[in-house]
Structure 1
Amino acid sequence: MDAREAFENRQPDGPRNAVHAGRPLLLADNVVKRYGKFQALSGVSLSVQPNTVHSVIGPNGAGKTTLFHTLTGTVPLTSGAIHLDGRNISHLPDHARVQLGVARSFQVTSLFPSLTVRENLRLAAQGVAPRQAMRFWSGPLGRDAHGDLIGAIAERLGLLRVLDRTSSQLSHGQQRRLEVGLALAARPKVIFLDEPTSGMGIDDIDSMKAIIAGLRSDLTVVLIEHNMGIVMDISDTITVMHLGKVLVEGTPRAVRQDEAVRRAYLGNMMTGGR
């Protein structure tokens, strides 16, 4: 069994991203989020198709991260509905959504610095394993119960050679890839990536871009990214947000050519193919 087969075969209960043809994997319907009198999201709707890269862009304060928080269950929504693979998950907490196939990375890398890459990935994998597998810390760290999955993820992210280094010994680019690996270890249907190229050099950016583009072969990606070259090159659909609302949604070509988007956000930054 090679690494890719191991990754796919470790998906519990068959392919996690199997959906009915034409049905969105993730659907947000008129989502509203208020903090007191401040309305951070004002009726946001989006439809994310399976096996696609769906990017959410807009300037700081547009509501992108708040949208991620509501979709992943980090914060409760005020009103509206969220469906995953046809199931209403609007009021489920984040840990319950993880069990159903939602995973995310954060803009600020959060790893266990004293643990190896292997141990970081193993703990992430055990986080969605049956509860009895986590009786004591010493047991899970002392055996390689998720070896196939760990190896597959490490190969996919270019981390095989550093599996036994502590995460504090990794370069910034490797740490960012490991952060994605922790989300992949949850065996998700949909992965939310919040600024995965933040702070990276050009070589690491190119590597991460290729990784993200390749993820859609197995699962669905929802991406927040300020690098317009990446967004335009690898996105299937782009949602442009403005002041807590959806301004435009469409293909990279449609978004690039939209005059409202040009005026509001992108201007000369709209680069990349497609």
Structure 2
Amino acid sequence: MSQPLLEARNVVKRYGKFLALSGVDLRVQAKTIHSVIGPNGAGKTTLFHTLTGTVPLTEGSIVFDGHDVSRRTDYQRVQVGMARSFQVTSLFPTLSVHENLRLAIQGTHPRQALRLWSLIRLAPDQSDAIESILDKIGLAQVRHNLSSALSHGQQRRLEVGMALAAKPKAIFLDEPTSGMGIDDIDSMKKLIYGLRNDLTVILIEHNMGIVMDISDTITVMQQGKVLVEGAPGAIKSDQRVRSAYLGGMITGGR
């Protein structure tokens, strides 16, 4: 097996006496979709927090694209190619779709970030980048709409687009289809699957139909530990997974 893009070794996270993560190991290969699933309280989001630098780890190490990022801040991890979306959508509601992406693009250039964004003329490559992202997330037709006027699913796709502005090597998506209707779920599923052509996707998702359909590898967590890891077929048939979490949910898709 090739060298992983992301490798977490014996990651431990304590909050006082509470052990949220207990010696988690994770290897994520480049340009794959690697899903992390498990019941509520299994440690999935805490794992994302430690991997992306939102919270510091207590013990262990994290290596990304050859860089030891274990003690780096979240911003420093963005600089080496990590991007993230959160469970709660965070956009600029009084700005248009295009303006949200423009801010995200310019935010990746420190000198521009110090100036009033409205006074900065976009470089040709930045304009091209915005157009590419709009096409990728399927929002080109609503580029001038306020982000607050978008549907929930469109807002989630815009948030993914803003994360893509940093040109990451890996993107972490935390419950991207939560609260969506069926049409928005299908659009997000297609978007996520298409991302693997250009980068790596690490995904937390409760929709088992999506997880089983698009994942290359699935890590199942339970009580802050990795219970089992493997391809969708192996996870679907693993009795430990059925007993601990999935039960009949994995047999029928969506």
TM (norm. structure 1) is 0.89
Does 1:150 pair with 2:130? yes
2:188 corresponds, among 208, 214, 234, to 208
**What are the residue-to-residue correspondences of 1:241-256 with 2, within 5 Å?**
241-256=221-236
- Call closer, same or farther: CA 1:172–1:45 in 2, change over 3 Å: same
Distance, in Å, in 2 between the alignment partners of 1:135 and 1:266 is: 48
For structure 2, the residue ranges without an aligned partner over 5 or more in a row are none
Distance, in Å, in 1 between the alignment partners of 2:202 and 2:117 is: 35
Distance, in Å, in 2 between the alignment partners of 1:180 and 1:152 is: 13
Deviations 1:116-150, CA, capped at 9 Å, x for gaps: 11111111122222x2122322446x533321111
1:164 Cα shift?
A: 1.1
Counterpart contact for 2:103–2:117, Cα < 8 Å: no
1:70 corresponds, among 50, 56, 67, to 50
- Call closer, same or farther: CA 1:272–1:157 in 2, change over 3 Å: farther
**What are the residue-to-residue correspondences of 1:16-165 with 2, within 5 Å?**
22-129=2-109, 131-139=110-118, 142-145=120-123, 146-165=126-145
SS of 1:233's equivalent in the other structure is helix
Distance, in Å, in 1 between the alignment partners of 2:251 and 2:196 is: 22
Counterpart contact for 1:230–1:272, Cα < 8 Å: no
Aligned position for 1:268? 248
Q: Which moved more, 1:264-273 or 1:144-153?
A: 264-273
Aligned position for 2:204? 224
1:87 Cα shift?
A: 1.2
Counterpart contact for 2:175–2:205, Cα < 8 Å: yes
Does 1:169 pair with 2:153? no
User: How many percent identity over aligned positions?
Assistant: 69
SS of 1:239's equivalent in the other structure is strand
- Call closer, same or farther: CA 1:245–1:155 in 2, change over 3 Å: same
Counterpart contact for 1:240–1:248, Cα < 8 Å: yes
- Call closer, same or farther: CA 1:185–1:272 in 2, change over 3 Å: farther
**What are the residue-to-residue correspondences of 1:189-208 with 2, within 5 Å?**
189-208=169-188
Q: Amino acid of the residue matched to residue 18 of structure 2?
A: F
Q: Amino acid of the residue matched to residue 116 of structure 2?
A: W
Distance, in Å, in 1 between the alignment partners of 2:92 and 2:122 is: 18
Counterpart contact for 2:106–2:117, Cα < 8 Å: no
- Call closer, same or farther: CA 1:28–1:138 in 2, change over 3 Å: closer
Counterpart contact for 2:57–2:70, Cα < 8 Å: yes
Q: Amino acid of the residue matched to residue 61 of structure 1?
A: G
Q: Amino acid of the residue matched to residue 227 of structure 1?
A: N
Aligned position for 1:184? 164
Deviations 1:142-181, CA, capped at 9 Å, x for gaps: 5333211111011011100111111011111110100111
- Call closer, same or farther: CA 1:111–1:137 in 2, change over 3 Å: same
